[in-house]
Chain A
Amino acid sequence: MTTIPLPSAGPVRDTIEARPEHDNYLTHTRGVLSWAFTLDHKRIGVMYLWSVLGSFLLGGIFALLVRTELLTPGPTITESADTYNQWFTLHGAIMVFLVIIPSIPAALGNVVLPIMLGAKDVAFPRLNLFSYYLWVTGAVLCILSLAMGGFDTGWTFYTPYSTTTAAGGVIPVLTAVFILGFSSIFTGLNFVVTVHKLRPPGMTWFRMPLFLWALYATAIIQVLATPVLGITLLLLIVEKTVNVGIFNPAMGGDPVLYQHFFWFYSHPAVYIMILPAMGIISEIIAINSHRSIFGYRFIAFSSIAIAMFSFIVWGHHMFTSGQSALLNTLFSAISFSVAIPSAVKVFNWVATLYKGSVSLTTPMWYALAFLFLFTIGGLTGLHLATLSTDVHLHDTYFVVAHFHYVMMGSALIAMIGGVHHWWPKMFGRMYDERLGTIACWIIFIGFNVTFFTQFMLGSHGMPRRYYDYQPEFQVYHVISTVGSYIMAFGFVLTAVSLFGSFFGGRRAPANPWGGRSLEWQCASPPPFDNFAKAPRVGDCYDFSVVHWDEKTGGYWVDEPADPEVNPSAAPKAAH
């Protein structure tokens, strides 16, 4: 590596060398209360991260129980099909409402968004903390519902089963999801306002990193779709407690209305999961290819396009629920068109890789895994959007496999990739790259063994959510279960590699990957006030000014001071 002469006072070197044992947001104040009542977006993000990862462990345990039960036809580890129903319901509800929806926006987004933007915090820090405690309340209620008799409705709470089931935990869990919805709304609201109003001078809309575009599009969905879930669950609670009959056919109500309401939220919710994941992938791929992202505006606008489309495709969940043929056709056609902005993104990522100088870091491996898995997940979605095939595939393991490829193989893999990407920034330590990469590979292999098998199961007619099955399906179920064990092992390894970084991991440089966006220009971990100096805003995908520095083992950014390109670096008039 040739040594590049360093300028005497770059912003990055300033931060690191002037404050070698610098006061950072983790050490700024001490004690449990300083965390419990913190208004700092980074701390709230970190609390979200631990909470989400804890829920992920819980949801994962239920997934393993479900897979283990399915090893053999008939009873395997539980005699009761009701218990099995509760397991898969809990797995689904925990993973959707407690893990994936808050994972990227609330955990990583909270830590990264204001720093990336060059802001000091989100627009409403107290609302942010309130939103976290709403999440905690929801999580506690969700666990309490187990003690109150559990729930076996599936995560979709379809009527009339959900209003008639004897399981006692349905009302607590509905309340929990209602509260979690508001947690999500407030996070989204905060992010929209932050992006609109707290951009520093020089940070124009089209200088924003693509992760911010993705979070912005997500936030719009969170704000506009989640209230409908709220009112739906409220109606369901009222229906269950005082029997108003709006969703009850015996009382003249309409259970399909419930499905419409539910999917009016829950389909956009799928994009709440995947859009921020796509944003993370844009960042990881560009940074690790050390090459300007291909088609910046296309990726940015495709995020907005996906957000818009997300509101008008919900009916494709109900092709077999007795919708009119016209409605089915329309929903099918619009669902197909979602493939366009999604493919725009995939092609742009692949084009970014082309002729890039790719560093195969752990986050990059996750991003490549995402590309592969998202493509499968997306393309199998087309089978389900096709009316004639959906009639056969509806409610089979094909659907299960499809949405696991999208929700887990894409959203969660990107989330884990993002955790690896920003881990050094959040905690100031480098993890073991080799172990991280191996874990990524094991998860990738385990994932495909688990879920690719389920495509075959589903197309052969195995219905989802069944406790028992015909013996000819057993070989697939065994393969799938073994795959889930491999995946679980991979996640344990990931945890070892990440937490291992706290014990003797190398101190992270400010910019370990060669990023150009603002969060890589403040120290790792960031100081309490994010930036020691007002950040210099430049083209966040111009990697020609990013240079390797042997001494710190990281990169530094040689920002142009030209006021044309970079107004914030220019001398300021008094305000």
Chain B
Amino acid sequence: MTQTIAHAQDSHGHGHGHDGHGHGHDPHLAHHFDSMAQQFDSAKLGIWLFLATEVLFFGGLFAAYAILRMRNPEVFSYASHYLDTIMGGINTCVLIASSLTMALAVRCAQTNNRKGLILGLVLTFLGAVGFLVIKYFEYSHKIHDHLVWGSTFYVPPEGKEGDAEREALKTAPTVSTTLVVQDPAPFVVPDLAKKPAVDASAVKQASRGPTGIARASGEPAPAPAAEPAPGKVEEAHPALHLEDPAMPPNTHLFFAIYYAMTGLHGIHVVAGMGILAWLTWRAVRGDFSSRNFTAVDTGGLYWHIVDLIWIFLFPLFYLIH
């Protein structure tokens, strides 16, 4: 046993050490493993650990989501109306379907069904493309309406609608006297003072803040929010969020965490497409067989976690109103 390994090791260190160059070994067996089973088990444990890091990576964002939602429940239930449940639902189905085709691809690799493997991988890839295309339409619609993170949320969008909004804002209540800070200069560290803590448009919004809170704690809710037309949730809210007097303060936070989480998820989908393309290329080359399907299997596990994270994201953002 030892001698065979010593031979296999001679191939090591020349920059392409993943093949053992024969000697009676499976060509896919790396020099430092004793058997294919050991190599497969190691890869499996490795990918599961990697998935654990992915869960913790997103876990930070889930924790941030929990904290923000606990602090601002009214923001989350209000702002969720602006998300398109239909599109989100379709995307969920697309991802679940792509998980199925991925699982079938792994099965085909295990049973030496090369055509099935390639078909499964291509379908999964198309699922990823479909998901991103739908996501693109969702994002671009929201970005157009300035349903975004940060202070841009409070800037009226461009175009005709925006002009009306700008007119409306002119007559909007100005900063109430209680909110006016006296001269902040003596109390503020000079460096911090260079960057205003709140920009002008955000202050306008903040002046509307108390209305939102007051209504939440007793007064009857405004008519549009109370009677959302079934199936046409968008209409329950004015197309332009800035015109809505019921909008609670800090609504931008919902979109901050929404873009952070779905954006990071989107990056993972893009990475997944890279992996799927690479797997497809190798499958076409004929690398995979019932003896060697580790890469398909681990790539599949990655794809499933991307899918699984979306399955948590969808209800947490789209279905909470």
Spell out A's residues near B (CB within 8 Å): 28-29, 33-34, 37-40, 119-127, 160, 164-166, 185, 189-190, 192-193, 196-198, 223-228, 230-232, 234-235, 238, 242-246, 250-254, 257, 261, 264, 528-529, 533-534, 572, 574-575
Residue of B nearest to A29 (CB): B13
Cβ B32 vs Cβ A198 within 8 A: yes
Q: Which residues from B are CB-within-8-Å of A253?
A: 68, 253, 256
Residues of A within 8 A of B38 (CB): 197-198
A264 to B63, CA, bound (A): 12
Is A120 a contact partner of B32 (Cβ separation < 8 A)?
yes
Residues of B within 8 A of A33 (CB): 15
- Contact status A223-B53, CB under 8 Å: yes
A193 and B59 CA atoms in complex are apart in Å by 23
Q: How far is the CB of B297 from chain A (nearest CB, A)?
A: 15
Known: A34-B13, A164-B195, A244-B260. A261 touches B49 (CB 8 A): no
Contact A244 B1 (CB under 8 A): no
Instruction: Find chain B residues with CB under 8 A from A264 CB.
Output: 60
Most buried by B among A160, A165, A227: A227
A-B contact pairs, 6 of them (CB 8 A): A198-B33, A223-B53, A227-B60, A242-B149, A246-B253, A257-B64
Residue numbers in A under 8 Å from B58 (CB-CB): 231
Query: B257 in the interface, Cβ–Cβ < 8 Å?
Result: yes
Q: B32 contacts A534, CB within 8 Å?
A: no
Binds A, one of B39-47, B93-101, B284-292: B39-47
CB distance from A168 to the nearest CB of B (A): 14
The 4 closest A-B pairs by CB, nearest first: A252-B250, A231-B60, A250-B197, A120-B32
Q: Are B252 and A230 in contact (CB under 8 A)?
A: no
Give A434 to B64 CA distance when docked, in angstroms.
55
With an 8 A cutoff between CB atoms, is B151 at the interface?
A: yes
Shortest CB-to-CB span from A70 to chain B, Å, is 22
8 Å CB contact of A231 from B49, B61, B149: B61
| B60 x A120 contact (CB < 8 A) | no
Shortest CB distance B10–A (Å): 8
Interface residues on B, range: 35 or more
Q: Known contacts being A125-B17, A126-B18, A244-B260, is A251 close to B150, with CB within 8 Å? A: yes
Cβ 8 A contact of A166, one of B54, B149, B194, B250 = B194
In the complex the two chains form, is B252's CB within 8 Å of A192's CB?
Answer: no
Q: Does A226 contact B45, Cβ atoms closer than 8 Å?
A: no
Q: How far is the CA of A252 from the CA of B255 in the complex (A)?
A: 13
A534–B1 CB distance below 8 A: yes
Enumerate chain A residues within 8 angstroms of B35, measured Cβ to Cβ. Answer: 575
Is the CB–CB distance between A121 and B253 below 8 Å?
no
Report which of B2, B53, B68 forms a contact with A534, defined as CB distance below 8 A: B2
Chain A contacts for B18, CB-based, 8 A: 126
| Minimum C-beta distance from B317 to chain A (A) | 15
Which A residues are CB-close (under 8 A) to B49?
Answer: 189, 192-193, 223
CB pair B6–A529 under 8 Å, yes or no, is yes
Q: How far is the CA of A253 from the CA of B197 in the complex (A)?
A: 12
Q: How far is the CB of B90 from chain A (nearest CB, A)?
A: 27
Question: Chain A residues near B191 (CB, 8 Å)?
Answer: 164-166
Contact (Cβ within 8 A) B1 A121: no
Given contacts A244-B149, A244-B259, contact A228 B60 (CB under 8 A): yes
On chain A, the residues within 8 Å of B200 by CB distance are: none
Cβ 8 A contact of A243, one of B150, B194, B259? B150
Q: Which chain B residue shows the least CB distance to A190?
A: B46
- The reply to whether A252 and B60 contact each other, CB–CB distance below 8 Å, is no
Q: Which residues of B contact A575 (CB under 8 A)?
A: 1, 34-35
Q: Which of B186-231 contact A (CB under 8 A)?
A: 191-192, 194-195, 197-198, 202
Using CB atoms and an 8 Å cutoff, list the residues of chain B in contact with chain A. Answer: 1-2, 5-6, 9, 12-15, 17-18, 30-35, 38, 41-42, 45-46, 49-50, 52-54, 56-61, 63-64, 67-68, 71-72, 149-151, 191-192, 194-195, 197-198, 202, 249-250, 252-253, 256-257, 259-260, 264
Q: Report whether A572 and B32 are in contact in the complex, using a CB–CB cutoff of 8 Å.
A: no
Do A120 and B9 have beta carbons less than 8 Å apart? yes
Task: Determine if B13 and A38 form an interchain contact, defined as CB atoms under 8 angstroms apart.
Answer: yes
Q: Is the CB of B12 within 8 A of A40?
A: yes
Given contacts A224-B56, A232-B60, A251-B252, A238 and B260 within 8 Å (CB-CB): yes
CB distance from A152 to the nearest CB of B (A): 10
Check A251 against B9 for contact (C-beta < 8 Å).
Answer: no
- Evaluate contact between B192 and A164: CB separation under 8 angstroms: yes
Instruction: Give the CA-CA distance A119 to B15 in the complex, in Å.
Output: 20
Given A125-B17, A574-B1, output 20 extra A-B contacts at Cβ < 8 Å.
A121-B31, A123-B46, A126-B17, A164-B191, A189-B53, A193-B49, A197-B41, A198-B32, A223-B52, A224-B53, A227-B57, A234-B264, A245-B150, A254-B71, A261-B60, A261-B63, A264-B60, A528-B9, A528-B12, A529-B12
- Whether A246 contacts B260 in the complex (CB less than 8 A), given A197-B42, A257-B67, comes out as yes
Kindly provide the distance from the CB of A159 to the nearest chain B CB, expressed in whole angstroms. 12
Q: How far is the CA of A304 from the CA of B56 in the complex (A)?
A: 20
Once the chains are docked, how many angstroms separate the CA of A575 from the CA of B1?
7
Given contacts A39-B12, A164-B191, A192-B49, A231 and B57 within 8 Å (CB-CB)? yes
- Given A164-B191, A257-B67, A235:B260 Cβ within 8 A: yes
Cβ contacts under 8 Å, B59 to chain A: 227-228, 231
A575 to B3, CA, bound (A): 13
Alpha-carbon gap, A339 to B31, bound state (A): 43
Give the most central of A225, A242, A245: most B CB within 10 Å: A245
A33 to B250, CA, bound (A): 55
A189: chain B residues at CB < 8 Å are 46, 49-50, 53
**Within the complex, which residue of B9, B30, B53, B192 is in contact with A529, where a contact is CB–CB below 8 Å?**
B9
Bound together, the chains give a CA A198 to CA B42 distance in angstroms of 8
> Which residues from B are CB-within-8-Å of A125?
17, 30, 32
Chain B contacts for A242, CB-based, 8 A: 149-150
* Complex CA distance for A160 and B35, rounded to whole angstroms: 53
Give the residue of A40, A226, A243, A251 whose beta carbon is less than 8 angstroms from that of B253. A251
